[in-house]
Amino acid sequence: MRRTFALFSIVFHAVLITAILVTQLLAVGKLPTPREALAFEAPSIIKTIDIPLPPPERRAPQEPAKALTVSADAAPIVAPIGVAPETGLESRTPHIGDVIGSDAGVDMGIGPTVALPPPPAPTREPPAPVRLHSGMTPPQKIVDMAPTYPALAQNARVEGVVILETVIDAQGRVESARVLRSVPLLDQAALDAVRQWRFTPARLNGEAVPVVMTVTVNFTLRDR
């Protein structure tokens, strides 16, 4: 029963599809009429026409340039020639015997000449201090000042060694000092003493130079 129904369905659909295709083929109407082909016309000669240019404009004649009149009070625009250098005495009232103008500095037999002061000598900056090394002549202490033992440190029985870094200038004076190793109750006394020390100048290649040198100050209590 099922096979009969399936076979009948296949045949029915085949007939239906065939009928639709035949209907479509027979339903074609009259074909459209094609358009006419494009026709190209024969080339024609194009005539060129010369367009005349407009006449040139007439310009009004230019007037001759008028000479510029310069006021006598106007500032000059050209540097003058032969200007003498300023001497700093322009505001000074001239006296008999002074030589003024381009003849300044020339003895004309009528009085002393006005001479310009010499320029100041260039100032030489002092050399920077160098750290003491083996190639130098080290400074030697020539003025010693013993430190004052602070009373507070004595009562507290504080002893020790304060190490300072000093800058000694080219004249052998202690320019500055700072503490490297501190004993709090003794630092200030060590600084006050070292600043009063004097040395021979340190020398590098025979020339006195400022140096950075380390010094020590020893504090020891005496037995009573």
Q: What is the pLDDT of residues 23-57, one digit of tens each?
A: 777 765 565 666 655 555 556 666 677 777 777 77
Residues 6+ positions from 173 with CB-CB distance below 8 Å? 198, 199
103 in any annotated domain:
no
Whether the full predicted model's pTM is greater than 0.85, yes or no, is no
The beta strands (E) that lie in the chain are given as 130-131, 141-143, 160-168, 174-181, 198-199, 202-204, 207-209, 211-219
208 in any annotated domain:
yes
99 in any annotated domain:
no
What's the residue count for the chain? 224
108 in any annotated domain:
no
212 falls in which pLDDT band (50, 70, 90)?
A: very high
Helix (H) or strand (E) holding 20: helix 2-26
Residues 6+ positions from 181 with CB-CB distance below 8 Å? 161, 162, 163
Tell me which residue of 215, 212, 181, 219 sits closest to 196, measured CA to CA: 215
Structural domain for 157, as ranges: 130-219
Q: What is the pLDDT of residues 136-192, one digit of tens each?
A: 999 999 999 999 999 999 999 999 999 999 999 999 999 999 999 999 999 999 999
50 in any annotated domain:
no
136 in any annotated domain:
yes
